[in-house]
Amino acid sequence: MSDSNLTMTFYLTGLRNQHAVETQAIGTVKNQLSRMEPYPELHTQMQGEMQRSTEQAARLDTLLAKHGTSASVAKEAMTGTVATVAGFAHSLSSDEVLKNVLAAVGFKAYEIGSYKVLVTLAESVGAADDVAMLELSMKEEQEMGDWLGSHLPSIVHAYLARQTA
């Protein structure tokens, strides 16, 4: 395989992996949403997150189709590693919301990095047209990461208020 073919293979694999990550994110947030209802701001933000993840997955579908391939749905269903990366707590412990928010902070950092890698690979394969779409998703991940980071104190306060109520 020539170097350029190899780079293209890395790039397409990266697009598929990120598609699996977005799919996992949609499922995880869907599972958690009802338990975030006592935290209205967080709940609204996570609803938006589900919507954005759906759009981000669709963008990856568009890019994969453009390069003559597609996401592997069968493979995604078996990708346990993605769940590990997501790192969300599924327990019903009393501090579950805090654990999930911390996991979401880590997850956003992973996704920002992942899109940065994809932008670099897109540039390396000469797919300059792909960059804007990937950067749009990266910007959304960054905004969500910033929102979570800046709202950690208010989420902790809301959590404490519920424990002592």
What is the nearest approach in angstroms of Fe ion to the Cβ of residue 164? 35
Residue 28 lies near Fe ion (rule: CB under 5 A): no
How many residues at the interface with Fe ion, by CB under 5 A? Answer: 4
| Cβ atoms of residues 87 and 28 within 8 Å | no
Residue 23 lies near Fe ion (rule: CB under 5 A): no
Output 22 or 130, the one with its CB closest to Fe ion.
22
Output 8 or 11, the one with its CB closest to Fe ion.
11
Near Fe ion by CB under 5 A, which window of 1-9, 35-43, 45-53, 62-70?
A: 45-53
Residue selected from 24, 28, 32, 56 as contacting Fe ion according to rule CB under 5 A: 56
Output 28 or 56, the one with its CB closest to Fe ion.
56
Other beta carbons within 10 Å of 5: 10
Rounded alpha-carbon distances, angstroms, from residue 153 to 98, 108, 146, 157, 165: 11, 18, 13, 6, 18
Residue 100 lies near Fe ion (rule: CB under 5 A): no
Output 51 or 93, the one with its CB closest to Fe ion.
51
Output 33 or 158, the one with its CB closest to Fe ion.
33
| Cβ atoms of residues 72 and 108 within 8 Å | no
Residue 114 lies near Fe ion (rule: CB under 5 A): no
Collapsed DSSP state (helix, strand, coil) of residue 133: helix
Residue 17 lies near Fe ion (rule: CB under 5 A): no
Q: In residues, how long is the chain?
A: 165
Residue selected from 17, 24, 53, 114 as contacting Fe ion according to rule CB under 5 A: 53
In angstroms, rounded to a whole number, what is the distance separating the alpha carbons of residues 104 and 96? 12
Burial 76-95 (b: 16+ CB within 10 A, else e): beebeebeebbebbeeeeee
Give contact residues for Fe ion (rule: CB under 5 A).
22, 53, 56, 111
